[in-house]
Chains A and B, each alone.
Chain A
């Protein structure tokens, strides 16, 4: 009975992808890669939403719904990453990615507010900034692979 319960717990832990808060360099690199990828995905999604909205190709309710998801997803990924204690060899990487994640979070929030207020004049500039950030994340991702 005990083996069964602890086995189940182990299974759930495995499935949840828990990362110990003091990861070693390999685990940390892996986590960095995944977080960068997730941030890239949401940043480009939001950029796409803004661009299609500006072009009159997006429906506002859809954009708002997806923006909500993207923002939540980005926040979760950011939180999971920044709460880690990086191994000392990876301090620079930790700082760099945390900074980018913070910028991404800010931009996505700005996007959400702009769409909420239908301030379409702001969209192109936001798209440019999101795309620039996405390129940085993509380069970081490339270095981590």
Chain B
């Protein structure tokens, strides 16, 4: 019974924790401009992250070592360093976006200008990272993030033409006014949002914090294989709400308030309040995850003590990195840069960094000296290799598309 509860908790946490500010903004923007014609990218991204999360989870459970540890061991310090720089830079950018996202959510709830919230949200995130236990963190925000299910409820309430929705999604029918390069730009952005690198570091480091062993593999798998896809449907429901309410009105999403508007239309004040709560939980949870991930990645490369299971003074460098990252994120946001713009850049740069993150995982998961009989089977390797090609294509296309479409504004 307890085991069942643990499994259910893990799945629910994975669903609720799947959506962050990048997913919120990108899915809503895509829905408002492209309808569901890019839904296939979300599906692609969900399968991708499930495949690689399972691999890295298995690596942790079997070897007891987190991802970055093994990347450096297996691929050498130089490759490991490139991997580290790329991943850390993107994760830091994502961290900045998430903290900005929390401020935006608070603004929606209070009408107090988001800029004003930034110092408080950065400080609050840091205090939580300083004091809160890992389990509590993950479960609390994962469960609260389930508030975003309100988008599914709203979609149901709106009573859309389901046949029409299914048709646009399954045929990837791009609305004619939008140009093809912009379509592909948003495909890359959506893909980056679904497969953000920090999710894998957090997942694998979390496995150490929770002391996984080979016996944990089935639980880990159910979290990944049920949780992530259901989280993906959350993303699609956000896009669908935008497609049903905003697209016909010619409203293009540029701010978080517009993301929430369909919920207000469908469910009124209560629904809107739940949505805002969901925004807050999703962004706060993601901020904690990304903040920790910046620390995890560098600590695991350099061999420092890290993590939430030790007192802060016993992981001084790790906590110093987390503190410094938080300060840096806050400073960037205090330049009055639009948090939505930071978010847009973070998803595209995530797409660029994907090969750096995922290729090493595939290599390590195949290594019998770490994995023993748990090394990758044919399915994992086939899927992994296919994804490597996709991820490489997205990474290479990202910057040209960004330039060509002027960051998606054409």
Q: Residues of A at under 8 Å CB distance from B?
A: 11, 14-17, 34, 37-38, 40-41, 44-45, 48-49, 52, 55-62, 64-66, 68-70, 73, 134, 138, 141, 145
Contacts and interface: CB of A to CB of B under 8 A. Distances in A.
Contacts of A134: 250
A145 B250 CA distance: 14
A65 B268 contact: no
Contacts of A56: 268-269
26 contacts: A14-B403, A17-B406, A17-B409, A17-B410, A34-B409, A38-B252, A40-B250, A45-B258, A48-B249, A52-B264, A52-B265, A57-B267, A57-B272, A58-B269, A58-B272, A59-B272, A61-B108, A61-B110, A61-B111, A62-B257, A62-B272, A65-B257, A69-B255, A69-B257, A138-B250, A145-B177
A48 B247 CA distance: 13
A62 B276 CA distance: 9
Contacts, number: 91
Given A15-B407, A52-B268, A61-B110, 20 more contacts: A17-B406, A17-B407, A17-B410, A37-B252, A41-B252, A48-B261, A52-B261, A52-B264, A57-B269, A58-B264, A59-B264, A61-B108, A62-B276, A64-B111, A65-B108, A66-B255, A66-B258, A66-B261, A68-B113, A145-B177
Contacts of A44: 249-251
A50 B251 CA distance: 15
Looking at chain B's contact residues, the main secondary structure is: helix
B269 A59 contact: yes
Interface residues of B, number: 31
Contacts of A14: 403, 406
B25 to A, nearest CB: 13
A60 B261 contact: no
A93 B110 CA distance: 41
A62 B109 contact: yes
A138 to B, nearest CB: 6
Nearest to B245: A48
